[in-house]
Structure 1
Amino acid sequence: MEIVQALQQFDGVARIETLRRLGVTAYQLRRARESGLIHSVRRGWVALRGADRMLVAAARRGVVLSCITLAARRGLWVLDSSEPHVAAPPHAGHASVSTGVIHWSRPLFPRHPDSCEDSLENALVLAARCQPHEAALALWESAFKKELVDPVVLGRVPLPPHAREMLEQATPFADAGTESIFRTRLRWLRLPVTPQVWLLGHRVDFLIGERLVVQIDGGHHVDEQRTSDIAHDALLKLHGFHVIRISYSQLMDRWHEVHALIIAAIAQRLHLAA
């Protein structure tokens, strides 16, 4: 097998032992190194020139990308993925990282020795303990929404307590992590807080009770979208709904203000039909 073709099966980073099993010869490996087509990552590992730098770094350090780092690479909603998170088996003396977080853990879903990335299921389990409760729940709900993991399968796995709690609470209905966080913070209300309700031709983020609408604005609420939002807000008010519109910054940094608005609205019974 051609060495490039073999390496591409592993996203450009692989063990020499695996390449040899696929038919790559020692001569091909030597010529590829000499020409600069591949380079050594660490003992027993090579990578294609231009391979994914995060995968190369993981192979070099003897770890796998996991937790919120893997989740972000899969396009899931993550509160903050600026710091890399990796995983390694307990007592793996060869594993190291210069910056970031390393999770020493025995995976529930076996890790293939040729992979530099964890399974998403293992990443979710780690995030359940690593991240704040509401951020972890938003991540799990994002995975369920995108149908990237199977809740039924997870339910049959001996999950640790934090992950079991996530599985029991997560739903597949939130369009964004902000919606998951909002609903989590108001769970104590003992009122219906229903996400993604279709009202008067448009979906609203949340309907509290019968008449209190809460909309959470993201970065896309500008120009034509903003004009459409304003028009729909006016239509809702004409039909007896009360609308509270909040920004991402208010939700994440000034929650006490949002909380006070919602509690005041409920106290005035604005969530009830006249």
Structure 2
Amino acid sequence: MSADDVETFLSGTVKACVECDLSGRDLHEQDLKRSKLDRAKLHGADLSNASLFRASLVRADLSGAKLPGANLNLVDAKWADLTKAVLAGTLLYEADLSGANLSDADLRGAYLGRSKLNQANLTGANLRSADLRAARLAGATLTGADLRGARLDKQNLRGMDLQGINFAMADMVETDFTGADLRGATLAGVNLFGANFHGADLRGANLEGANLTNAILSEAQTEGAKFEAAIMPDGRRSEPEKQQKNQNSAGR
């Protein structure tokens, strides 16, 4: 699009700016709701506190963009590039981020309830205290992601590779970890009430102080896992000298 077309879009006269170049632009607090910005270049743009409600950003380049406090509820950002984007405190309710690249993105405290993150790349993303309840994470890559204090209640994480991920102090009530790989993961202090770990690999995981009341640990591999001070499925608190016994019974 021409420079004139871009300015016309920014004036609010039209809602479409497909493939336009808005890289590095100051668009903070801009009203861009329902805009069509598919394949647009927004690299490094300042969109803090902007409204992108129901906007279409399919395959848009938002790498390094600043979006703290922005409203991206119901946005369509399939396959968008959000590498190293700042999305702290951003509203992403029911956002479609399927296949999006969110590697190294800052999503601290972001609200991602009911969002679609299928096949998304969240490698190294900071999701501390993010709300991911009812989000769809099937096929997502979470390698090196920070999920401390995140809300993942009733999340479906069946069969996922969650090796070494830090979930400390997260809420994961009734989360399904069936067959998941949690080797070396940190689940210390996590509320895992009613969680399902059937067939999960918990070798070397840290579950110190976790609440495992009513959790299912059948056929789980727990060699080397730490359960000190954890509340076990039967409601009893694990004691250091009984850890090995708890591990053996949990894996049966």
Q: Which has the higher contact order (CA 8 A, sep 6+)?
A: 1
Q: Work out which of the two has the higher radius of gyration on C-alpha atoms and give 1 or 2.
A: 1
Give TM-score scaled by structure 1 length.
0.26
Give TM-score scaled by structure 2 length.
0.27
* More strand by percentage: 1
